[in-house]
Chains A and B, each alone.
Chain A
Amino acid sequence: MKIFLSILFIISATVSYSQATVNSSTFGMMEARWLGPGTMSGRITAIEGVAQDGKTIYVGTAGGGIWKTTNAGASFKPIFDKYCQSIGAIAIDPKNPKIIYAATGESNMRNSVSIGDGIYKSTDAGENWTKLGLEKTEHIAKLVINPTNTNTIYAAVPGPLWSSSKERGLYKSTDGGKSFEKILFISEDAGCADVAVDPQHPDTVYASTWEFRRKPYAFNSGGNGSGFWKSTDGGKTWKEIKNGLPAKPFGRIAFTVAPSAPQNLVAIVEANETGLYISADGGENWKKQSATFNVVSRPFYFSTIVIDPKDPKRVYRPALSFSYSSDGGYSFADASNEGGWVHSDHHALWINPNNTNQLYLGTDGGVYISLDKGATWSFVQSLPVGQFYHAAVDDRKPYNIYGGLQDNGSWTGPSAASGGVGNANWKSLNGGDGFWVQPDPNDIYTAYAESQGGNINRINLVNNKAVNIKPQQAPGDDKLRWNWNTPIVIGAANKKNLYMGSQYLYKSTDQGRNWTRLSPDLTTNDKKKQEQENSGGLSADNTSAENHCTIFTVAESPLDEKLIWAGTDDGNLQYTSDAGKTWINVAANYAKAGIPSQTWISSIEPSQFDKRIVYATFDNHMYGDHKTYVARSIDMGKTWTLLSSSEFTGFAHKIKEDPLNKDLLFLGTEMGLFATLDGGQNWFRMKNKIPEYVLARDIQIHPRTHDLIIATHGRGILIVDDISPIRNLKKETAEKNVVLFPNTPITLTMGQFGGGGFPSTGGWVAPNPPSIPPIKYYLKDRVSSGEVKMDIYDPAGKLVQSIPGGKRKGVNMIDWNLSMKPPKIASGGSKLDFSAFLAPMVLPGDYTVKLKVGDSVYTSVIKLVHDATDKNFTLQDRKLQYKTAMDIYKMHEQLAGVVDTINARQKLIKDNLSKVTDSSLKKMMIAYNDELEKLRSELLATKQKSVFADEKKLREEITEVYSGVTGQEAAPSNLQVQRVTVLQQEVKKKEKESQQILKKI
């Protein structure tokens, strides 16, 4: 019996727990705005198009999922937002283009590359996806489908970048992806980098294997595991390709088979002497060709080489720049910049097989289209897949966002703009790779931005001039070590403090003109981790991306400027409570909580509520450990509590404490954004138009607007406007069925951002936040039965507006334009008249809101106020405007009454005419109808057949002055007021005329 009871208890506990859960659906209609921008896009990793139509194209990105266009690139939509955002390869079934395979985990193995979680398949052109497997492969470079038997698929798997793995190798499926078999395996340290199938003899398969490994402080490309292979039996047996190739060891080999003459192959073989090789006999023998710098540059990063589908002589090499050859690879030319600069660093190319002039190129800065075989290019401006590292905000109205992007410099853009935030609203501040950008809170004309390796500039935001303010090595100091992504931080307690860290922490209080070193070397200073000059393997590669033993994060306590925390990339977490005189390392303490040592301290968040409380995130992925580590200490770092959740995925980048609710925390990881409302006990994944596995690198909460700003590494900037309803959602509130949130006073306005004149002519345009604060309410559950409606009453108790409300679970928002219900206008005209959708704005005062949910009513009061600071529209002006607008409003309704009567009479005639047999009566009825029609045609436009032929009758005359007076935030002009009187007399006159005609019968 006891067992029985405990089973019952477990069941009921599960049920009651689920009812009280707060999760992403609690946010309801509070959805993220995708700010973009599209002016600089992000790294593109795969492009595949549908050969059958040439205009349906799938674009895979490094951190923004998959985007699909059905119009050859005029517009794109994301189709992979519920899954891993790092895309390695895409393949379309050549026989059935609705079947799409997506391999996650890109294989452009730079320091910041993200991992995947396997291969997915869609059978409906990307609408729905199913995961097929290979979950632990982390990186997949290519998918190739056998063109004859499309159930046969090959997947080239380089495998994990940071650790050894058995998952590497070449895989084959013969059942459309249901199962995969590993058909080529070299070792746990060498995977498969490329694969190609001979389209005419699909059992002939070529593959290259690649030995490659990254460590946090160096990488190596090349080794005995790298090789070039051929199979003629569909991968059962393999023969190594050697003849004519350079001496081993090899690094990465990129190669391609000419689709129209598949005995021809070209390959770029990374070796001690990297070169371009050509084979004309199916890979049996190779010849080295002279190649340009671009053709053989950076083989670990540029692994694309493509031959035209029809012309075996036309070879394309997208790499640092874009090269093409018309003679089979013997000589190369570079693309021109005539159509605009083509972003460097190329990783994907799709050629429309039915129009081989048409090319789509994927770069580190987005997609380009060529219509002349790659000679010139135009940029696709509508892909908001920028890879931000960090974001900061200022306090202007509307506020601006500042941030740095992978290979796309540093930028600033507004959170709102007239007509929406478009590409043109963004301004470039600094070049190179961008990371931290800080606006100076004390000087609206200044911001600080950097490029890789701590090259910081002070930037004049008016003329865009830059001054280099990088701290220099002082006498007696060690050589300075700057992280690729060097922290630039403004003090949270004292906003005059500007911090920057190499292995030492620096502070400036005069905008970087003078710096003070605040610390000794805060890192482990492990010399074995400082040999970056030897990094790269076969091809030397030292771009500061592997700099190590550096400070990676800095945070000043918002409660005390002398309390400063610093975290390093080699596991040290230190603080000073005396502005740098003494430092305490708490690395050993966090390790006791189960966090590995040597992690990157990816963010530190000193609490705004208690000096002793601090949060931190720890990133151990560079040691092959992708777990989420986030912890809190309540005793200055002496002891740490690991905050954990089964929801967490991805290594942690950023923890953010809400400035007003200490229990509201946000966590950004490599695979998702998470939130907790109970101080970290229960976490949920944020959705609400936030990609579920978004790479959330940085999080800000705007202190004035309460917006949540997310800097993503692949989806640009995302903003959830005004999170205060969630912030104020107590557990007991969340358990109520309906909560109508209190509103702060609303300033009467027709909108804050203006109309924007012409609509956007293209590119990415983000919607603005609500121009007028919406009325918000909370529903515990979705309302499935019953209506939701909001009635608004003026201070006199008169119903002025009635708006249907959302029924979503969580926070709902009703947009009220602060106007009353529009007038009833004369019906039956032949001209479009929008007066029926235009109403005068109400006057200031306390308005009662009655929210009806099913049979229940919830009431609150909203205070509407006049903006007394607006000298162009005084309260007196407003009252005159309202009175005049209402006079015309009544006129419209008066005219509608007259026309209704005429319409009714005409209907009566029409309905009865056929029943009348007496011909004289019939004649009389027709004549009477004509008389009515004559009058009607004077009251409103009845003849106009086209919007371009202007017919203006009384209704239209009224509308002209009505829309003028009602649609402006200004007092009516003298002539507008006069015009009202004239029209009133006219309406009266016509009313009389109609009465006389109506009296006749």
Chain B
Amino acid sequence: MKRILFSLLLVILTAFSKAQSADEIIANYIAASGGTEKISAIKTVKMVGSLTVQGTEVEVTITASHGIGYRSDIVVPGIGEGFQIYTPTKGWEYLPFQGQTSVQEMTEEKLKAGLPQLDLQGQLYNYKEKGNKVELLGKEMFDGMDCYKLKVETAAGRITTLFIDSKTYYRVKSVAVSAASGQIIETIFSNFKKMEDGYTYPFSQTTANGTIEFSSIEINKPVDVNLFKI
């Protein structure tokens, strides 16, 4: 009996004291997002949502094809309709709310900063093969959640700090420095839903500009590649 108790105690203590490595955390994160098989199979994503400002809805549509293109369309009532397109080699934008009167080609810097969005599997999945470096910075409380802090540096040198909730293994926050402005961009993810096809996605994204609530997220539905052209 004593022996059983002792080994039980040992198991409990180990469970309490065992620190996870970055790779274990990433494995748990991938599992929480749908699993390796599912994540590796992501080819397209379409997300439709809106950002509400005192009752007025700004519509946001994101359409992306893995490694091929990423497009976000924004409709601001009374102000206009705009979009941003990123492809591996070129990008364009038309943002009338920022005073643009015609479609403009993106600067190389801006395009480079937006390119991680083409990786629909996320920077953590297969990160070594992608040439990304990951460092576990330790744990930090965020909004009552005990989070693992992972620093990810992409092959292109872009650094993002990710907060992974140690309970759910959801990525609940990301922090990056804007290459263009040098300002810190913090994005908070919430409203995680496990979808019928097995993927778990955050249906809310909050930045300093407000919260986008997505009403639908579709994975691997056909996407017209012409959307990524001008």
A and B found bound together:
yes
Using a CB–CB distance below 8 Å, which chain A residues touch chain B?
1, 3-4, 7, 11, 25, 28, 70-71, 77, 124, 127-128, 130, 781-787, 801-804, 807-810, 816-817, 819-822, 824-825, 827, 829, 832-837, 839, 945-947
**Contact string, B177-192, partner A, CB cutoff 8 A, digits 1/0?**
1000010100000111
Q: Which residues on A sit within 8 Å (CB–CB) of B56?
A: 821-822, 836-837
Of residues B54, B165, B175, which shows the largest number of chain A Cβ atoms within 10 Å of its Cβ? B54
Task: Identify which of B21-29, B76-84, B105-113, B122-130 touches chain A.
Answer: B76-84
Q: Which of A3, A28, A832 contacts B78 (CB 8 A)?
A: A832
Q: How many residues of B contact A (CB 8 A)?
A: 44
- Give 20 CB contacts A-B under 8 Å: A25-B141, A25-B144, A124-B151, A128-B149, A782-B143, A782-B145, A784-B191, A785-B190, A785-B193, A787-B204, A807-B191, A807-B204, A808-B144, A809-B145, A819-B55, A821-B55, A832-B80, A832-B96, A834-B78, A837-B78
Instruction: Kindly list the 9 A-B residue pairs having the minimum CB-CB distance in the complex, ordered from nearest.
Output: A809-B144, A836-B78, A821-B55, A836-B77, A25-B144, A833-B78, A70-B182, A785-B192, A825-B78
The answer to whether A7 and B9 have CB atoms under 8 Å apart is yes
Interface flag for B20 (CB, 8 Å): no
Q: Which residues on A sit within 8 Å (CB–CB) of B184?
A: 77
Nearest A residue to B193, CB-CB: A785
The answer to whether B192 and A809 have CB atoms under 8 Å apart is no
The answer to whether B168 and A802 have CB atoms under 8 Å apart is no
Interface flag for B5 (CB, 8 Å): yes
Q: Which residues on B sit within 8 Å (CB–CB) of A11?
A: 12
Nearest A residue to B101, CB-CB: A945
Assuming the contacts A782-B144, A787-B204, asked whether A825 and B172 have C-beta atoms less than 8 A apart, the reply is no
Q: Which residues on A sit within 8 Å (CB–CB) of B203?
A: 787
Assuming the contacts A787-B213, A807-B204, asked whether A822 and B159 have C-beta atoms less than 8 A apart, the reply is no
Q: Which of B141, B151, B168 contacts A784 (CB 8 A)?
A: B168
The answer to whether A784 and B192 have CB atoms under 8 Å apart is yes
Complex Cα spacing A13 to B143, Å: 23
Complex Cα spacing A822 to B52, Å: 11
Complex Cα spacing A833 to B182, Å: 31
Of residues B5, B55, B170, B191, which shows the largest number of chain A Cβ atoms within 10 Å of its Cβ? B55
Nearest A residue to B75, CB-CB: A827
The answer to whether B77 and A824 have CB atoms under 8 Å apart is yes
Q: Which residues on A sit within 8 Å (CB–CB) of B8?
A: 4, 7
Assuming the contacts A70-B182, A784-B168, asked whether A803 and B52 have C-beta atoms less than 8 A apart, the reply is yes
Q: Which residues on A sit within 8 Å (CB–CB) of B192?
A: 784-785
Complex Cα spacing A809 to B188, Å: 13
The answer to whether A947 and B99 have CB atoms under 8 Å apart is yes
Interface flag for B155 (CB, 8 Å): no
Nearest B residue to A79, CB-CB: B184
Nearest B residue to A822, CB-CB: B56
Q: Which of A28, A77, A128, A946 contacts B161 (CB 8 A)?
A: A128
Q: Which residues on B sit within 8 Å (CB–CB) of A834?
A: 78-79
Complex Cα spacing A224 to B54, Å: 71
The answer to whether B5 and A803 have CB atoms under 8 Å apart is no
Q: Which residues on A sit within 8 Å (CB–CB) of B55?
A: 801-803, 819-822, 839
Nearest A residue to B168, CB-CB: A784
Min CB distance, A686 to chain B, in Å? 13
Complex Cα spacing A14 to B97, Å: 53
Complex Cα spacing A7 to B5, Å: 10
Complex Cα spacing A3 to B143, Å: 36
Interface flag for B53 (CB, 8 Å): yes
Interface flag for B1 (CB, 8 Å): yes
Assuming the contacts A25-B141, A784-B190, asked whether A837 and B1 have C-beta atoms less than 8 A apart, the reply is no
Q: Which of A7, A77, A783, A832 contacts B191 (CB 8 A)?
A: A783
Using a CB–CB distance below 8 Å, which chain B residues touch chain A?
1, 5, 8-9, 12, 52-56, 76-80, 96-97, 99, 101, 137, 141, 143-145, 149, 151, 159, 161, 165, 168, 170, 172, 175, 177, 182, 184, 190-193, 203-204, 211, 213
Of residues A808, A824, A829, A946, which shows the largest number of chain B Cβ atoms within 10 Å of its Cβ? A808
Q: Which residues on B sit within 8 Å (CB–CB) of A810?
A: 144
The answer to whether A25 and B190 have CB atoms under 8 Å apart is no
Assuming the contacts A833-B78, A834-B78, asked whether A124 and B159 have C-beta atoms less than 8 A apart, the reply is yes
Assuming the contacts A7-B12, A787-B204, A803-B54, asked whether A1 and B78 have C-beta atoms less than 8 A apart, the reply is no
Q: Which of B78, B143, B193 contacts A809 (CB 8 A)?
A: B143
The answer to whether B99 and A833 have CB atoms under 8 Å apart is no
Complex Cα spacing A833 to B96, Å: 12
For chain B, what secondary structure do more than half of its interface residues adopt (helix, strand, loop), or is it mixed?
A: strand
The answer to whether A804 and B213 have CB atoms under 8 Å apart is yes
Nearest B residue to A124, CB-CB: B159
The answer to whether A822 and B54 have CB atoms under 8 Å apart is yes
Q: Which residues on A sit within 8 Å (CB–CB) of B12?
A: 7, 11
The answer to whether B193 and A837 have CB atoms under 8 Å apart is no
Complex Cα spacing A528 to B145, Å: 54
Nearest B residue to A945, CB-CB: B101
Q: Which residues on A sit within 8 Å (CB–CB) of B182?
A: 70-71
Nearest A residue to B78, CB-CB: A836
Assuming the contacts A782-B190, A836-B77, A837-B56, asked whether A127 and B144 have C-beta atoms less than 8 A apart, the reply is no
The answer to whether A784 and B79 have CB atoms under 8 Å apart is no
Min CB distance, A191 to chain B, in Å? 31
Q: Which residues on B sit within 8 Å (CB–CB) of A784?
A: 165, 168, 170, 172, 190-192
The answer to whether A3 and B177 have CB atoms under 8 Å apart is no
Complex Cα spacing A72 to B9, Å: 57
Min CB distance, B182 to chain A, in Å? 4
Complex Cα spacing A782 to B168, Å: 12
Nearest A residue to B176, CB-CB: A127
Min CB distance, A640 to chain B, in Å? 33
Min CB distance, A395 to chain B, in Å? 33
Min CB distance, B25 to chain A, in Å? 16
Q: Which residues on A sit within 8 Å (CB–CB) of B204?
A: 787, 807
Complex Cα spacing A786 to B79, Å: 30
Min CB distance, A655 to chain B, in Å? 25
The answer to whether A833 and B9 have CB atoms under 8 Å apart is no
Assuming the contacts A808-B143, A832-B80, A833-B78, asked whether A819 and B54 have C-beta atoms less than 8 A apart, the reply is yes
Assuming the contacts A70-B182, A827-B77, A836-B77, asked whether A25 and B143 have C-beta atoms less than 8 A apart, the reply is yes
Complex Cα spacing A255 to B71, Å: 59
Complex Cα spacing A827 to B80, Å: 8
Min CB distance, B196 to chain A, in Å? 15
Q: Which residues on A sit within 8 Å (CB–CB) of B137?
A: 128, 130
Min CB distance, B156 to chain A, in Å? 15
Nearest A residue to B181, CB-CB: A70
Q: Which residues on A sit within 8 Å (CB–CB) of B159?
A: 124, 127
Complex Cα spacing A816 to B53, Å: 10
Complex Cα spacing A3 to B12, Å: 13
Complex Cα spacing A786 to B175, Å: 23
Q: Which residues on B sit within 8 Å (CB–CB) of A3?
A: 5
The answer to whether B77 and A787 have CB atoms under 8 Å apart is no
Q: Which residues on B sit within 8 Å (CB–CB) of A836?
A: 56, 76-79
Complex Cα spacing A835 to B78, Å: 7
Beyond the given pairs A1-B1, A25-B141, 5 more chain A to chain B contacts, judged by CB atoms under 8 angstroms and listed by A's residue number, are: A7-B8, A7-B12, A124-B151, A819-B54, A837-B78
Q: Which residues on B sit within 8 Å (CB–CB) of A803?
A: 52, 54-55
Q: Which residues on B sit within 8 Å (CB–CB) of A4?
A: 5, 8
Q: Which residues on B sit within 8 Å (CB–CB) of A824?
A: 77
Complex Cα spacing A87 to B92, Å: 45
Q: Which residues on A sit within 8 Å (CB–CB) of B177?
A: 127
The answer to whether B151 and A833 have CB atoms under 8 Å apart is no
Complex Cα spacing A7 to B97, Å: 62
Nearest B residue to A780, CB-CB: B144
Q: Which residues on B sit within 8 Å (CB–CB) of A827?
A: 77-78
Q: Which residues on A sit within 8 Å (CB–CB) of B97?
A: 832
Complex Cα spacing A25 to B142, Å: 8
Complex Cα spacing A834 to B58, Å: 13
Nearest A residue to B4, CB-CB: A4
Complex Cα spacing A443 to B92, Å: 64
Q: Which residues on A sit within 8 Å (CB–CB) of B99?
A: 947
Nearest B residue to A129, CB-CB: B137
The answer to whether A946 and B191 have CB atoms under 8 Å apart is no
